[in-house]
Structure 1
Amino acid sequence: MHAFQLATLMLGLQLPIVCHALDVDPGDYTPMPDGTQLGLLYLQHAERHDYYVRGNQLGDKYNLYSDVSILRGVSYQAFAGVLTNIQLLLPFGHLSAGGDIKGMGSESGMGDPILANAVWIHQDPSTNRALAVTQYLFLPIGDYNKNKELNIGENRWKYVLQGGYMHGIGSRVILDFVADVTFFGDNDRYSSRDLTLKQDPQYQMQGFIRYMFSERAAMHVGYSRLWGGQRKVDGTELEDESRQAKIMLGGSYFVTPKAQLLATLGRDLSVENGFKEESRVNLRLLYVF
């Protein structure tokens, strides 16, 4: 491997995997009645074997496995007729390297907690249509060690502004459209040399088509596009803009009137820089209090 490619790989691995992109699930922007409380548990397993630099594959033995769990609480309140919610997300993760990067070992711990707030601009439950805006603030208090290549936390602030629109077509089909932009603070303890990491804003668009078999059961197909986010380390451009496309397929079912299980399978279609996900399994348990 060329020295530049190796250096790029090492710097890429310094980024955490837990919340690299702010993925959503279909139905996340469904308006809930005033006073509703939700508790959610997310479980995710992902496998990566290929690493890309500027669209070129470095090899197929750069194995990185991640297992992530997230506890999420959501509370809905209406103020002057406007529906809002407040959220707290607590991520935990385990990373394990293998193949040609096995020497990087593994890492477990807590990711950066997330505070969130959504405001519904429009909602019409009778037609399954809604429009809302959500903001997320990532707190840099997760587990981070500058001397390790693998980290669960990021040691930097992050702010995400996201808009979501839900559009019902008849009684069976619902479209979900979500777009967001992520702004990054600086990490001034990047790597063992205490370098400073800066990153340009990163953009993501996601879309789902849901088919409702009944009020309890549904299936969905989704597509996501991620771009931007080029990094700079101590003033040096890494030329590593994120350009990722992926697909998702899954379904959901209310096992009881208050408990829903959602499962999604996904994989990357293309990656310009970084690891390419060969497979991902997401499970989500939602409970309405």
Structure 2
Amino acid sequence: MKSFNAPALALGLTLFGATCTALADVKPDPGDYIALPKGTDVVVLYQQNPRGDKVYSGGKKVADDLDLDMTVGVLRLIHFTDFFGTGYTWDPQIVIPFGQQDIGATHTKNSGLGDITFGGTLWTIGDLERNEHLGWSVFFTAPTGSDKNEGFALSNNRWAVDFQVGYIKGLTERITWDVIAEAEFYQDQRSTDAKKDTLLQLHNHLRYNFTQDTYAALTYRHNWGGRETLDGVTLATSRDNGTVGFTVATMVNKQLQVMGQVMHDTSVREGVKIDNSLQFRLAYFY
């Protein structure tokens, strides 16, 4: 039987509720900033399985036996088209998360629809021949999720706007570098008025393209900020968290891509440390 310190666990669960939404958002994967031909539609289905026990605040471990187990599905619909007659490509899209979360330490379970995200990317460079792409994204997340204020990682009961800029460059015929910078801004939490500072993130993917249809990639992600306060009291300190990952993807045929991914948190200053997160993705292009 697991043992835990009750006050520390209570604090850990409070912090988990304040910071957990980062566990289940759809982060940019290798190749996501490729500008596909106008008229292309993509249906993407993700399954994510984060697992974690340890919770940190201010760099100190405050809970050791959270026993977090999540099963998350995400439906993403994307359409590539011309940007209002300018000749540039953009891709209006919608992201709909859903899933189940179990916290073994408290025997609590949540499930349902998550906060819906919508927006798109505008490419000012989209050169498939030279393998160079530069895209500018804006995404809005609406507080539509189930179990608001219940610590459900898919529902945060506040609006958020996310700005990203992503650059892809073919370094050689087989090696490609993807780098994406991101800043997310938050409305006050609607039921408590808790405030959350801007969260900054940087994503790096180094891909090795075995063929035009198959690649493997190493990923490193880091985020900073996102401090959360309520009436001057700190609920969650600023993050300084790092994650590594490995991805393999291949086109099964001309329209279907399969991707597998494993992620592991290397350092966590604030939030739940994810020991391993498996993700599988199917993308259908038409």
Alignment partners' CA distance in 2, 1:151 and 1:53: 17
Partner of 2:194: 197
Aligned-partner SS, 2:278 = strand
Residue 255 (structure 2) pairs with residue 258 (structure 1): yes
Alignment partners' CA distance in 1, 2:278 and 2:92: 27
Counting only pairs closer than 5 Å after superposition, residues 1-289 of structure 1 correspond to structure 2 as 1=5, 3=7, 5-6=8-9, 8-15=11-18, 17=20, 19-20=22-23, 23-78=27-82, 79-98=85-104, 101-103=105-107, 105-146=108-149, 148-150=150-152, 152-189=154-191, 195-238=192-235, 240-289=237-286
RMSD: 1.7
Amino acid in the other structure paired with 2:114: G
Alignment partners' CA distance in 2, 1:57 and 1:19: 18
Instruction: Check whether the contact 1:17–1:66 (CA below 8 A) recurs between aligned residues.
Output: no
Alignment partners' CA distance in 2, 1:97 and 1:239: 19
Alignment partners' CA distance in 1, 2:58 and 2:188: 24
Aligned-partner SS, 1:250 = strand
CA deviation string 1:256-277 (max 9, x = no partner): 1110001111100010111100
Alignment partners' CA distance in 1, 2:216 and 2:274: 22
Alignment partners' CA distance in 1, 2:274 and 2:236: 21
Amino acid in the other structure paired with 1:124: D
More strand by share: 1
Amino acid in the other structure paired with 2:119: A
Amino acid in the other structure paired with 1:177: V
Amino acid in the other structure paired with 2:73: S
Amino acid in the other structure paired with 2:58: R
Alignment partners' CA distance in 1, 2:152 and 2:142: 19
Alignment partners' CA distance in 1, 2:183 and 2:99: 24
Instruction: Check whether the contact 1:176–1:209 (CA below 8 A) recurs between aligned residues.
Output: yes
TM-score, with normalisation over the residues of structure 1? 0.91
Any unmatched runs of 5+ in structure 2? none
Aligned-partner SS, 1:8 = helix
Distance 1:238 1:18, change over 3 A: closer
Q: CA deviation at 1:52?
A: 1.2
Any unmatched runs of 5+ in structure 1? 190-194
Aligned-partner SS, 2:98 = strand
Instruction: Check whether the contact 1:160–1:182 (CA below 8 A) recurs between aligned residues.
Output: yes
Instruction: Check whether the contact 1:13–1:150 (CA below 8 A) recurs between aligned residues.
Output: no
Alignment partners' CA distance in 2, 1:149 and 1:166: 36
Aligned-partner SS, 2:38 = coil
Aligned-partner SS, 2:67 = strand
Q: CA deviation at 1:93?
A: 1.8
Deviation larger for 202-211 or 57-66:
57-66
Deviation larger for 235-244 or 128-137:
235-244
Alignment partners' CA distance in 1, 2:28 and 2:213: 20
Aligned-partner SS, 1:13 = helix
Instruction: Check whether the contact 1:18–1:111 (CA below 8 A) recurs between aligned residues.
Output: no
CA deviation string 1:182-230 (max 9, x = no partner): 00111131xxxxx321100000000001111111111010000011000
TM-score, with normalisation over the residues of structure 2? 0.92
CA deviation string 1:66-90 (max 9, x = no partner): 1111101100112321111100111
